[in-house]
Structure 1
Amino acid sequence: MAPPALNAGELEARLTGLHADSYGWALSCCDWNDAEAEDVVQTTYVKVLSGQARWSGRSTFRTWLFGVVRLTALERRRREASLRRRADRAETDGSAAPTATAAPDEAVLAAERARRLRQALDELPDRQREVVHLVFYQGLTVSEAGEVMGVSVGSARTHYHRGKQRLKTLLAEDDR
């Protein structure tokens, strides 16, 4: 049975309640680039509030929303790659703004650990990184993460298990 259609106020309330988690997931999908993540979340909200993306009730609202965030980030990445290819073909000046990465604050141990974990996560294959992030940081089940990613539960479990094992190895190597 499909859930009743949500009115604009209900949609806005749900989006507001999930904003921090949605932004965290968008950061992960955008390689931790704040500006890109903000754009992805904003575009996702526009899609949801305008009716371009509609929740059917086949999954939880949160799981569905994370799927919309993921697809929006992928669309953005493809669009930017296409623009870069066009610019290269047109032989523009070729100057691309380098992506700035914030240097970790060496004085804060927690920041260093977060940096090491983020670096280890970045070394995982995409699907392993996505499922680990969704389960660890967003509190989804492996099954829900599989829905967000558009893969079977078995595949999500395999990626999750391999991702945890690889993280353990990478972090252990860092400790040496």
Structure 2
Amino acid sequence: MKSPQLENILKELHQEAYHWSRQCCSFDEDLAKDVLQQVYLKILEGKAIYNEKSQLKTWLFSVIRFTAAEWKKKNKNIYPLEEEFDAAETLEEVKAVSHDELIERLPERQKEVLLLIFYHNLTLEKAAEVMGISIGTVRTHYDRGKSGLKKLILKKQAYENARQ
């Protein structure tokens, strides 16, 4: 694919790509912008090549996912000083969180599957392509993710009802 044509397609998909990048980066806006910029550089420099085996959007989302994973892995052991390290989840912790924050509490693959399917309108098959896993694995993570999210939402509702 020619560079000007590729640039036009990237401009068309930029908004969706940014949202997916943000979701892959745990909703960290600055990191999402850095990852997306790195993705565009990879594509324009020819380090990430579209082989036309899938749709362009599916391929772009895969590049974003793997680039975000690289950045997370590289910065895995860097923690801000003010961050609390208490992993115990209580009813009190669920009280004032948004649905985005509830999704963020799910295991990584479950979160990715739900985001791809619900927020980016991909099918299970396309989500499997983006993630580089089998359709059966995607179905499993999809079902477990919905179940886990439902439990978190019910826990949040129980807290809100208890306060009334």
Please indicate, yes or no, whether the TM-score normalized by the shorter chain is above 0.5: yes
Residue in structure 1 matched with residue 88 of structure 2 by the alignment:
none
Deviation at 1:116, TM superposition (A): 2.0
Deviations 1:13-34 (A, max 9, x none): 1111111111111111111110
Alignment of 1:17-166 (within 5 A): 17-81=12-76, 84=78, 96=80, 115-166=97-148
- Aligned-partner SS, 2:60: helix
Shift of 1:97: 6.2
Shift of 1:80: 2.1
* Aligned with residue 175 of structure 1, among 132, 157, 163: 157
User: With structure 2 as the length reference, what TM-score do the two structures score?
Assistant: 0.83
Q: Which amino acid aligns with 1:129?
A: K
Q: CA deviation at 1:141?
A: 0.8
Give the C-alpha shift of residue 79 in structure 1.
2.0
Q: In structure 1, the residue corresponding to 2:156 is in which secondary structure?
A: helix
Matched, 1:15 2:21: no
Unaligned runs of 5+ in 2: 84-94, 159-164
Matched with 1:108 is none
SS class of match (1:18): helix
- Identity over aligned residues, as a percent? 38
Question: Distance between the aligned counterparts of 1:98 and 1:148, measured in 2?
Answer: 35
Deviations 1:79-137 (A, max 9, x none): 2237x5xxxxxxxxxx94657xxxxxxxxxxxx99x52112111211100000001111
User: Which letter does structure 2 place at the counterpart of 1:61?
Assistant: L
C-alpha distance in structure 1 between counterparts of 2:146 and 2:129, whole Å: 19
Runs of 4+ residues deviating >3 angstroms: 95-99
For residue 11 of structure 1, report the CA deviation from its aligned partner.
Answer: 0.6
Against the structure 1 CA distance between its residues 123 and 25, is the aligned structure 2 distance closer, same or farther, given a 3 Å change threshold?
A: same
Give the TM-score of the pair, scaled to structure 1.
Answer: 0.77
What runs of 5+ residues in structure 1 fail to find an aligned partner? 1-5, 85-94, 100-111
